[in-house]
Amino acid sequence: MSRAELLSPEGLRIDGRRPAELRKITSTTCVLSQADGSAYLEHGNTKVLAAVYGPREARHRALVLHDRAILNVELNVAPFSTGERRRRSKNDKRLLEMASFVKQTFEPVVIATLYPRSQIDIYLQVIQHDGGTLQACINATTMALIDAGIAMTDYVCACTAGWVEREAAIDLNYIEESSDTSEVTIAMLPKSSKITLTQMESRLHVDKLEEVFRLAGEGCKQMYEVMDKTIRDRAEDLARKMAV
């Protein structure tokens, strides 16, 4: 698909959205009974499941820190998640890179000093990939950590933005990502507006960078509203059940 087809003369994207419009977001927590915390998140057709175990005893004593917990992040993509149907290696470089991004994003946010000599495991399963996988993994991880009762300084909300043909657009889908679109993914703490992650997939001209960052920040704030509502609705539901 050529870049000219990504934006209609009316300014609509290929899936009918405006440039500043997120895809439909569906989210829920406490979806796995055996995990300490879990969350399921859909960004359009991108679907991610996150599970958190811990704090618990570290598996490798050599990695134990006496004054804080260590974070372990593992990410897997289901073979049926895309139309490629190709076999993925367990040590796929791209998956390891994304897991590292998630770990780097949450290490400054999780209050690890409350859990000395322990380990917090985060497992991410990409069930379906339609663009924005990293942002979906980060947002699902936030909700799973909250569901597990892990102390954090703030929510972490992520959003991808890029330059689609003639203007900035957020929450890129797979077709937009695959069309040589310059894009950036940021993770933000909504209360302080601090950035905990900036990851660029391709080069972007400096004249366009400010607008892309601004739009990505707005997308993060929209994600915060969705995620916060999910968490609060879950808390209210638990309170009602306890009252009964």
| Banded model confidence at residue 4, pLDDT cuts 50, 70, 90 | very low
Give tens-digit pLDDT for 19-61: 999 999 999 999 999 999 999 999 999 999 999 999 998 877 7
Residue 106, domain member (yes or no): yes
- How far apart are the C-alpha atoms of 75 and 140, rounded to whole Å? 12
Find which of 14-18, 165-169, 185-189 is predicted with most confidence, using mean pLDDT. Answer: 185-189
Cβ contacts of 92 within 8 Å, gap of 6 or more: 77
- How far apart are the C-alpha atoms of 179 and 232, rounded to whole Å? 38
Per the prediction, the chain carries an average pLDDT of: 90
Residue 156, domain member (yes or no): yes
Residue 2, domain member (yes or no): no
Q: Can you give the CATH number for the domain in which 32 is found?
A: 3.30.230.70
Residue 108, domain member (yes or no): yes
Is the predicted pLDDT of residue 1 greater than 50, yes or no? no
* Cβ(22)–Cβ(219) below 8 Å: yes
Could you list the residue range(s) of the whole structural domain that residue 173 is in? 13-243
Residue 8, domain member (yes or no): no
Q: Count of domains in the chain?
A: 1
- How far apart are the C-alpha atoms of 81 and 156, rounded to whole Å? 25
Residue 3, domain member (yes or no): no
Give tens-digit pLDDT for 72-129: 999 999 888 766 555 555 558 889 999 999 999 999 999 999 999 999 999 999 999 9
- How far apart are the C-alpha atoms of 87 and 78, rounded to whole Å? 9
Residue 6, domain member (yes or no): no
As to burial, measured by CB atoms within 10 angstroms (0-12 exposed, 13-18 middle, 19+ buried), residue 228 is middle
Residue 75, domain member (yes or no): yes
pTM value surpassing 0.85: yes
